[in-house]
Amino acid sequence: MPLRFYQTEPHQALVKLEGNFDSDTAPEIRKSLIKIVKNKGSESLKIDFSEVPNLGTAGVAVLVEVLRAMTRKGGALELVGLNDNARQMIRLARLGEIFQT
Amino acid sequence: MSSHNMIEIRGLDSHYKGRQVLFNIGFAIPHKKVTVIMGRSGCGKTTLLRHLIGLKPSESGRVFVEGQDMGSFDEKGMANYRRRIGVLFQSGALFNSLTVSQNIAVPLKVHTRLSDETIRIMSLIKLHLVGLADFLDYMPSQLSGGMRKRAGLARALAMDPEILFVDEPSSGLDPITAAGLDDLILELRETLGMTIIVVTHELESAVKIADQMVVMDRGNLLAVGTPDEIRSSQDETVLRFLRREAEEQQVNTESYLSRLLGRQYKAGENSTRRQGGVR
Ligand SMILES: Nc1ncnc2c1ncn2[C@@H]1O[C@H](COP(=O)(O)OP(=O)(O)OP(=O)(O)O)[C@@H](O)[C@H]1O
Ligand SMILES: [Mg+2]
C-alpha cells in the first residue's frame, strides 16, 4: 500500500495513506511510520486518511504505537480525513477521545 | 429485510454416525443483520453452526456463502472463508495453558505478520470491549464461566470478522453482563455492519437483538421471521416454545420404561400403575 511522506514545514510531517490499513498492510505501514516518527524533523505528525477506505483494529493498534512514540518525544499526532468506518473503528476501540474523532 | 444474503442454507440434512439430526433445513442469513437461532436443547443448533462455519462438511448444494457453494470450496477457499469469520464456541474453548491475552493473540499470530506489540495492543482493545481489560494476564482457570465466555468472544473478534457466530454467549452470565453483551452485539452490527448469528436460550435477549429469528424443533426448522412475526405465530409448537411449556413426552416415557424394565413396554400395559398416577 502506498504511503506518501511530505515534510510540509520544518517540524511538521504529513503522511498520506492510500489503501486499506488492516492486518495485511499494518506491518509495512508501521515500519514506515516508526521511521518517520524517529526522524528529527517530525515534531508534529499529521496522517491523512482520506484515501483509506478501510481501517481495521490492526491499524488502530499501530496508531496507538505511533501516538505513544510521538508523545514520548513531546510531539503531537493528528488524524485527518477519517471516513465513517475509520471513525467507528476508533470509537469501538474506545479511543475516540484520545484521537479526537 | 435486506435482499442481500450472506449465507443461504438449502435442504440441509445432517447425520452423526448415521443418525439424522437435521432435516431439510432451509433459510437465508441476511447481510449485516443479527440472526438468532433458538430451540430446545438437543434440537441441532450447534450442529447447524458447525455446518455454517465449515467444521462439519455439508453436501454440495446445501450451504452457500454469498452465492458460492461451500461444498465446492477447496482448501484455499475454506481458509479464506475462515479468515472472514469469528466463532465463539458454546464451550468457550480457550487454550488453558495460555493467558487470556495470549489466547486472543493466537488467531493474529497464525494469520498475520503483525508485530508482537501491535498484537498486544489489539488484544487489549478487544478485551476492553468485552470488559476484561484488567484480566489480560490471567489464566483461563482463574476466570469465572461468564468471563471465559467473554474472553472467547474477544478472541472471536480478534480478526475483525465480517461474520460472527456465537453459540450461547450469555450462558453463565448475570443479567447485567448479559445485557451488556446484547448491546455489544448491536453495536457491532450498527457500527461495523457485521453479520451476526447468535444461538441463545434467552427469549428476552433474542427479541432485543434479532433482526431475524429462527426457531428449530428436533432437527427441523419450525419458523423464520422477525421477532414480531414469531411472537404472533399461530403455530402451536412455536407458541408452546415461546410459552416455555414442557411438551408431552409420551415416546420418551415409553423408551425410559423399556430401559428400566428391560423389555418393550407398551402404553397401558400395567393399568394399576397408571392409575397410581405415574403419568
Ligand atoms: N459430536 C457428536 N456426535 C454424535 N452426536 C452428536 C454430536 N454432537 C451433537 N450430537 C447430537 O446431535 C443432536 C443435536 O445436538 P446439538 O449439539 O446440535 O444440539 P443443540 O441444539 O446445540 O443443543 P444445546 O442447546 O443443548 O446446546 C443431539 O441429538 C446430539 O446428541
Ligand atoms: Mg448447542
- Each residue of B207-223: pLDDT tens digit? 999 999 999 999 999 99
Give the nearest chain A residue to B185 (CA atoms).
A92
- pLDDT score of B271: 53
Evaluate if residue B18 carries a pLDDT over 50: yes
- Each residue of B228-252: pLDDT tens digit? 999 998 888 888 888 876 665 556 7
Evaluate if residue B173 carries a pLDDT over 70: yes
Q: Do B115 and A30 touch (CB under 8 A)?
A: yes
Task: Give the residues across from B20 on adjacent strands.
Answer: B15
Distances (CA, A) of B111 to B80, B105, B272: 11, 10, 67
Instruction: Name the fold adopted by A3-92.
Output: Transcription Regulator spoIIAA (3.30.750)
A57 with B126: CB under 8 angstroms?
A: yes
Residues B100 and B97: their CA atoms lie apart, in Å, by: 10
Cβ partners under 8 Å of residue B126, min gap 6? A57, B104, B154, B155, B157, B158
CB-based contact, B186 to chain A, within 8 Å: no
Q: Do A88 and B122 touch (CB under 8 A)?
A: no
Chain A residues in contact with B119 (beta carbon < 8 A) = 61
Query: What cell was used for B139?
Result: 489464566
Question: What pTM value is reported for the model?
Answer: 0.87
- pLDDT score of B274: 44
Q: How many CB pairs under 8 A join A and B?
A: 60
CB-based contact, A82 to chain B, within 8 Å: no
Cβ partners under 8 Å of residue B261, min gap 6? none
Q: Highest-confidence range of A42-51, A54-63, B92-101, B168-177, by mean pLDDT?
A: A54-63
CB-based contact, A80 to chain B, within 8 Å: no
Name the 3-class secondary structure at B18: coil
pLDDT band at A73 (very low <50, low <70, confident <90, very high): confident
Domain-wise residue ranges, chain B: 85-160
A47 with A37: CB under 8 angstroms?
A: no
Q: Do A27 and B112 touch (CB under 8 A)?
A: yes
Q: Return the closest-CA partner of residue A66 out of B123, B118, B101, B158.
A: B118
- Each residue of B251-279: pLDDT tens digit? 677 777 778 877 766 666 665 444 444 44
Q: Return the closest-CA partner of residue B90 out of B114, B126, B55.
A: B55
A16 with A48: CB under 8 angstroms?
A: yes
For residue B66, the 8-state DSSP code is T
Choose which residue among B12, B14, B16 to substitute to test ligand 1 binding: the one with the highest number of ligand atoms within 8 A of its C-beta: B16
Over pLDDT 90: what percentage of chain A? 66
Evaluate if residue B98 carries a pLDDT over 70: yes
Beta strands per DSSP E along chain B: 5-16, 19-30, 34-39, 63-65, 68-69, 85-88, 163-167, 195-199, 212-217, 220-225
- Each residue of B102-143: pLDDT tens digit? 999 999 999 899 999 999 999 999 999 999 999 999 999 999
Higher pLDDT, B8 or A14: B8
Q: Which ipTM did the prediction report?
A: 0.93
Report the gap between the CA of B243 and the closest CA in chain A (Å).
37
